[in-house]
Amino acid sequence: MTDESYQKLIELANGHIEGRLDESSREELETLLRDDPEQRRAFADFLHDHAALHWEYISESDNVIPLPPVSRQSPNILTWSALTAAVLAISALLGVLFLGQPDPGSGAFVTMEKTRAARWESANLPTVEGARLSAGTLRLAEGLATLRFDSGAEVVLEAPAVVELINGMNCRLVSGTAVADIPDSALGFQISTPAAKVVDYGTRFAVNVDSLTGATQTQVFEGLVEVEHPESGEIVTLKTGETNFVAGDSIGQATAAPDETEWVHSTQPLQRGPEWTKIPSSRDAYVYSVDVAHHHSEILLLLKNSSDTRGPHRKAYLGFDLSTLDPSQIVEAELKLNFAPTGWGLASHLLDSEFSVYGLTGPHSDQWQESTIAWNSAPANEFSTGDTLKKEGAVLLGKFSVEQGFQRGEFGIDDSRLSEFLQKQKGKFASLVVIRNTKETEGGGLVHGIASHRHPTLPAPTLVIRSRE
């Protein structure tokens, strides 16, 4: 640093300290600091001396926090009065009423603030605007949805996306894109993904997760975000306008983001680790109470709960061969069903629909065949209704909802009752029944369809099972 540039720097630093820099001088200073590490260091030290002078005098005066004496020998033993004093000191120190520790896990902590052209799949949470949500999983198939966490964090999901709500300060993005806007109250808000942990120290950023690989891309629009790679513990800090990638065992450095970032929009199902087994239905069929001419399908399993007590009702039977695994070792299980339009009935005559999945428990519950199963002989079927089974032959494993008008998409259940039921299948075969609980509002309502294992393109009804090693 020449003497001339040193004098200039000191002059600018003094002007800055006294708030006397005009705009052009400030820009001159900013350029110096950006371009010259030596000047930067000198400036930082100069400002530090200024700050130290100020705080040296501050701490001489009585402007420090009164603190209860804490015994160093026995830090765990705190008397009641010391505790009370500690609490009072915190209140005094913060100049506000005592703020309780946030309490995660108690009930609802998210509001479904706004949805745009949203279509949900397999939501085990309510999805209407204004709904209060607790921990659980949301699957957005189409559109946009804005979630407001009680901490103040706002997360906009862009379809297709799957997110697990954990608590007011944490969520897990399994796939798709989330755009977060984090106010001061939610500083430290975390979005974890299969590959990374994104911790917010700033205001607005986007995270995208490739559903196939879990690869995570983060981009900061404004503020500061830390991306952590949990495997290596490595952390990359992203500032305004920066982006990075985390994939598999590597974490990318921060780079400047292009104007139009390319986000991954894979619709492939999430790839799971080797401890997961997928079992498609080995047989499936639907039974019907009234034979409506030509209203049959080879490739779809039809579901209907008619407003007329006699029907036509339709229920679907699914059989799964569990011989490739040891049922007693099952830890977790999900049932995945792919819906497709049948072309029959009016969506206007049917509101949001709830479906139930049952497990058959009778001694002959596996004694049914695709070609011969019929309404009157189907195991556990309650012939007189469209929405029940015989209590002694079936057990409820879970429910899911499909919004009015939606006829496509993946739905199903993810419920401990399902894994418990499967564990008990010593015969290594499980029979499930799917029933629509919701009746049409008037005759001619929509017939729902689930892809059978005979469907040429859509996946069969599938159990996804995690077993102990």
Partner 1 sequence: MADSSEDRTEAFLRLLTEHEKRLGIYVTGLISCPQDAQDILQEGKVVMWRNFEKFELGTNFAAWARKVLFHQILSYRRKVKRQPSGFLNEETLHILNEESESAHREGRWVKREEALKQCLLKLKEDHRTIVQMRYRDEASIEKISHRVERTEGAVYRLLSRLRKSLYECVERQTSQAS
CB neighbours of 63 closer than 8 A, spacing ≥ 6? none
Report if residue 88 touches partner 1, rule: CB under 8 A. Answer: no
Instruction: Please state, as a whole number, how many other Cβ atoms lie within 10 Å of the Cβ of residue 452.
Output: 25
Give alpha helix (H) positions in 36-79: 37-60
Angle at 217 between CA 169 and CA 252, to 5 degrees: 110
x/- binding map, residues 97-126, to partner 1, per CB under 8 A?
--x-xx------------------------
Per CB under 8 A, the list member of 5, 8, 28, 50 interacting with partner 1 is 50
Residue in 223, 409, 398, 387 with CA at minimum distance from that of residue 309: 387
Report if residue 89 touches partner 1, rule: CB under 8 A. Answer: yes
Per CB under 8 A, the list member of 187, 254, 264, 325 interacting with partner 1 is 187
Buried (b) or exposed (e) across 200-215, using 16+ Cβ within 10 A?
Answer: bebbbbbbbbbbebbb
Instruction: Say how many residues touch partner 1, by CB under 8 A.
Output: 69
**Is the CB of 22 or the CB of 392 nearer to partner 1?**
22
Please provide residue 349's backbone torsions phi and psi, each rounded to the nearest 5 degrees.
Answer: -95, 15
Peptide bond into 160 cis (omega under 30): yes
**Between residue 200 and residue 229, which ones bind partner 1 under the rule CB under 8 A?**
201-203, 223-224
DSSP code string of 367-399: ---TTT--TTTSTTB-TT-SS-B-GGGEEEEEE
Residue in 252, 226, 444, 433 with CA at minimum distance from that of residue 344: 444
Segment contacting partner 1 by CB under 8 A, of 11-19, 153-161, 381-389, 431-439? 11-19
Report if residue 92 touches partner 1, rule: CB under 8 A. Answer: no
In whole angstroms, the minimum distance from the beta carbon of 178 to partner 1 comes to 20
**Between residue 20 and residue 39, which ones bind partner 1 under the rule CB under 8 A?**
20-21, 26, 29-30, 33-34
Question: Six-digit token pair at 185?
Answer: 């109250």
Peptide bond into 312 cis (omega under 30): yes
In whole angstroms, the minimum distance from the beta carbon of 146 to partner 1 comes to 22
In whole angstroms, the minimum distance from the beta carbon of 297 to partner 1 comes to 53
Report if residue 291 touches partner 1, rule: CB under 8 A. Answer: no
Report if residue 184 touches partner 1, rule: CB under 8 A. Answer: yes
**Interface residues toward partner 1, by CB under 8 A:** 10-11, 13-14, 16-21, 26, 29-30, 33-34, 40-41, 43-61, 64-65, 67-68, 70, 75-78, 83, 86-87, 89-90, 93-96, 99, 101-102, 169, 184-185, 187-188, 201-203, 223-224, 239-240
